[in-house]
Chains A and B, each alone.
Chain A
Amino acid sequence: MKQRAYTNELADEDEDDVPLPKLMSDLDRITGTRCGRCEHTLCGHEGLVAIVLGQAARPLCIACLAEGLGTDASELAAGVFAHVRRRDCFSKACSVASEREGFGAGVAPVCVFAVAAIASAGELEPGSGAAADRPAATDRWDAGDKGCGELVLELFMRLKAAPAGTVLALRATDLAAPLDIPAWCSLTGNRLVYAAPPEYLIAKKES
C-alpha cells in the first residue's frame, strides 16, 4: 500500500457522491467479515473506513490499515471520519452503521476510535491479533451493557475464582468499556491480550 496524504487525495479524486445503494451493498458485504491480515472481525464503521480508503476489495482493520500506510492509527481514524462527515454518501452510510450498532448520531464510533487509540499507544500491535497467535479462550462472558463499577466488579470476581491459565473472552457493549477494560487490566495486572470492542480477550495473571 503506498503512502499518501489520503485526505487531500480523497477530496480531489472523488468529487461525485458514490451512489448509496452501491455503497450500502459494499458495506453489507464487508461488515462482519475478517480483516485480511489479522482476522479481526470488521464492524460497519471499519468497513466504511476500508471503502473510503479504496480498500473495499481486501478490507483491513484500522490498525492494519494504519501500519500499511505508515501512519498513526488514531490520526488515520480522525482523518477518515472528518472526510466521511464532509461527504453526504459516506455520512449516510456511517449513520446506518451507527444505528445498527447502537451508537447515537454524531457520536464518534468507539469501535474504531478505541481500537485506534490502543494501537496508537502501542499496546496492541497490528498483526499480533492474528487468531493463530492468540491464546484460545478458556471461558466466555457476555456482560451485555453492564458498565462502570458493575462491569469491573463482576469481571474481578469471575477472574479471581477462575483457575490459573484462564483466558476470558469478554463481550461488553458499554460505551466506556473500551477505555475502562484496558485501565482495569493495567491496574490489576491481568493481561489484555486482544481488544476489538465489544470483544476482549483477557489472560488471568499468574499469582
Chain B
Amino acid sequence: MAGKFCVSLTHAKEDGDRATVAFVVANAAAASEKETLVFLSTEAVRLAQVGYADQIREEGFAPMADLMKNFVAAGGKIFVCSPCFKKRGLDEAKLVAGATIVGGAKLVEFLSDGTPCVSY
C-alpha cells in the first residue's frame, strides 16, 4: 500500500523518553509499509553518531540502538539536519547505517505532497 510517513525528532539523551517514543512510532509506520522518514534536528542529530544511541534505554521499551537498527532494517530512512550537525561538532565519517546528512529542502520535499508528520 503506498503512502509516506514522517517523524520529526528534536531530542536525544536529554529526553530519552521522547527520543525512544519517536522511534517506536517510526517503527510502527515502517511496519505498516509506509515509506517512513525520521528527520533529526537540534539535539536529536547526536543519535546519528555511531555508539551514541547505546546510552538510551528507556524502561518498557527496546534499547534505542535496537529501535534504530530495526527501523533501518525495515526500510526506514534517517535524515540528519546539516547545520545542527555542524553546530555540535559531530563527525560525518561516523554516521549510523541508514542516516544521510541533508538540508531543510529535503524535508520540505518529503512532506510537500501532503505526507503527515508527527513531532517529538
Contacts and interface: CB of A to CB of B under 8 A. Distances in A.
B73 A157 contact: yes
B26 interface: yes
Interface in B1-39: 1, 23-33
A195 to B, nearest CB: 18
Interface in A148-207: 148-150, 152-157, 184, 187-189
Given A157-B73, A157-B74, A152 B31 contact: yes
Given A149-B23, A149-B25, A150-B24, A156 B30 contact: yes
B33 A188 contact: yes
Contacts of B1: 187-189
Contact of B62 (A150, A157, A189): A150
The binding surface of chain B is classed by DSSP as helix
B77 to A, nearest CB: 15
Contacts of A152: 27-28, 31-32
Contacts of B74: 153, 156-157
Interface of A is mostly: helix
Contacts of A188: 1, 31-33
Contact of B32 (A150, A154, A157, A187): A187
Interface in B47-84: 61-62, 67, 70-71, 73-74
B6 to A, nearest CB: 15
Nearest to B25: A149
A188 B1 CA distance: 7
Contacts of B28: 148-149, 152-153
B69 to A, nearest CB: 11
B70 A153 contact: yes
Given A150-B62, A157-B73, A184 B24 contact: no
Contacts of A187: 1, 32-33
Interface of A: 148-150, 152-157, 184, 187-189
29 contacts: A148-B25, A148-B28, A149-B23, A149-B24, A149-B25, A149-B26, A149-B27, A149-B31, A149-B67, A150-B27, A150-B61, A150-B70, A152-B32, A153-B28, A153-B70, A153-B71, A153-B74, A156-B32, A156-B33, A157-B31, A157-B70, A184-B31, A184-B32, A187-B1, A187-B32, A187-B33, A188-B1, A188-B33, A189-B1
